[in-house]
Amino acid sequence: MLTAVVGINWGDEGKGRMVDLLAEKSDIVCRYQGGNNAGHTVINERGKFILNLLPSGILRPEVTNVMGNGMVIDLQHLCTEIQKLADAGVSITPKNLKISDKAVICMPYHVRLDCLEEERLADKKYGSTRRGISPVYGDKYMKKALRMADLFAPEDVLYEEVKELVEYKNLTIEGVYHAEGEKTDAIMQWLKTYGEPLKPYVCDVCTYLDEADKAGKTIMFEAQLGVLRDIDFGIYPYTSSSSTIAAYAPIGAGIPGRHVDYTLGIMKAYSTCVGEGPFTCEMFGEEAEALRKAGGEYGAATGRPRRVGPFDAVASKYGVRMQGATEIALTKLDILSYLDRIPVCVAYEIEGKRTTTFTTDRVKLAEARPVIEYLEGWKCDISGCRKKEDLPAAALRYIEYIEKAAECRIRYVSVGAERSEYLTL
């Protein structure tokens, strides 16, 4: 059984907590794309954890976690993340963490190049997390990257490879950005310091997953970001550099011959967006500040304030379609409890025409105006609700409205950040 837990919107939908919850029924949890630009928050009886690279199943001792070939891994960041969890008493061993030998290494110069480019762009920047993600994916497709398997190469062979790469990167670092070039010895030292401790986790993940699948194990794929940040189906170029959608999950994890059997789309009860680009339903001023505050909408990876807006039916319906979502988990419904009436973006108006069909054409999107309708609020604390009957009638009406607008059945509703704070419909 292959399950995907993916984002319907811009990311930060609360995927981490749903993966953590559903991991109970999974043998294996795989990350299949992205790098440490992700920030998945999991809160359980052991405390609060923000996971950037490690799959969110890592907090469950019986789950095996896989970092797939579709990922880009900053070795230093991963070592630190493993250490932090170890300090908090979470045991991480080659038995519960497997890293694909085909995953690409995000090098210190990728991070530098990301920063140099954002600085060059100044006010035209895309809002990169500055973790080196675009430069490293660029190098992957230029065939100028190192993979985890390269850590096992004889030292002299690796040295020659790194020397070539450093020469190549310095053409840009020195020639384009007029910054100080990289040094081969320093990069070799970095690879040794942070690569050696990770070697025991590196393996042929493809064979591992194939055998696990044949043995009837349950495999869950965990996405980073949502559809609207997908490199192909998102609002390009305001996207991430990888495929965030469920259809890519088996490829990026390492079991490309299989299809996902069940896709759970994670959809927030309102909208948030980190970084630049069109965000049609965006709220401003006091209204925005109140929602941002209520939802604690500050980036888990970067601390940046997130842009906020009401639930966007147009974008969410598109998200459901692109993910092929089987069912939805609606998150953070409790956050809306302070509102007398709840705004919902039900359509866009583009060039004087009303539409509910989303476009990723950024010129059209830049012109789009949100059509807002209001639903009655419930004005009471719902964080204690654990079954449908506990919810106030107005909250149920809101859920039903969203279900219809997004054209997908809502199965779970979360009403608090903790593992147990949810209900099944």
Name the residues that contact ligand GDP, by CB under 6 A.
Answer: 7, 11-17, 39-41, 43, 300, 331-332, 334-335, 414-417
Nearer to ligand GDP, 189 or 424 (CB): 424
User: Whose Cβ is closer to ligand GDP: residue 117's or residue 334's?
Assistant: 334
| 24 touches 61 (CB < 8 A) | no
Distances (CA, A) of 258 to 71, 210, 247, 359, 403: 19, 9, 10, 30, 29
> Could you tell me which residues are beta bridge partners of residue 242?
none
Minimum Å distance from CB 332 to ligand GDP? 4
CB of 10 to ligand GDP, least distance (A): 10
Catalytic residue selected from 20, 40, 230, 312? 40
Give the pair of three-digit tokens for residue 172: 């840009």
In angstroms, what is the minimal distance from the CB of 55 to ligand GDP? 12
Residue of 12, 20, 230, 312 marked catalytic = 12
Measured from the CB atom, the residue of 15 and 317 that comes closer to ligand GDP is 15
CA pair distance 223, 241, nearest whole angstrom: 13
Distance of closest approach, residue 192 Cβ to ligand GDP, in angstroms: 32
- CA distance to 283, 294, 313, 346, 407, per residue, from 316 (Å): 17, 22, 5, 10, 9
Q: How far is the CB of 254 from ligand GDP (least distance, A)?
A: 22
The single-letter code of the amino acid at 340 is D
* Cα gap 417→19, rounded to integer Å: 13
d(CA 172, CA 181): 9
- Told to judge if 12 belongs to the known catalytic residues of this protein, a careful annotator would answer yes
Alpha-carbon distance of 68 to 104, in angstroms, equals 10
Whichever of 13 and 114 has its CB closer to ligand GDP, that residue is: 13
Whether residue 343 is preceded by a cis peptide bond, meaning omega within 30 degrees of 0, is no
Do 229 and 6 meet the contact criterion of CB atoms below 8 Å apart?
Answer: no
Cβ closest to ligand GDP, residue 12 vs residue 101? 12
Q: HEC profile for 184-243?
A: HHHHHHHHHHHHHHHHHHEECHHHHHHHHHHCCCCEEEEEEEEHHHCCCCCCCCCCCCCC
In whole angstroms, how close is the CB of 416 to ligand GDP at the nearest point? 5
Residue 109 or 233 having the CB closest to ligand GDP? 233
Neighbour-count burial for 379-407, b at 16+ CB within 10 Å, e otherwise: eeebeebeeeeebbebbeebbebbbebbe
Comparing CB distances to ligand GDP, the nearer of 100 and 272 is 272
Q: How far is the CB of 418 from ligand GDP (least distance, A)?
A: 8
Quote the CA–CA distance of 120 and 182 in Å, as a whole number: 19
* Residues assigned a catalytic role: 12, 40
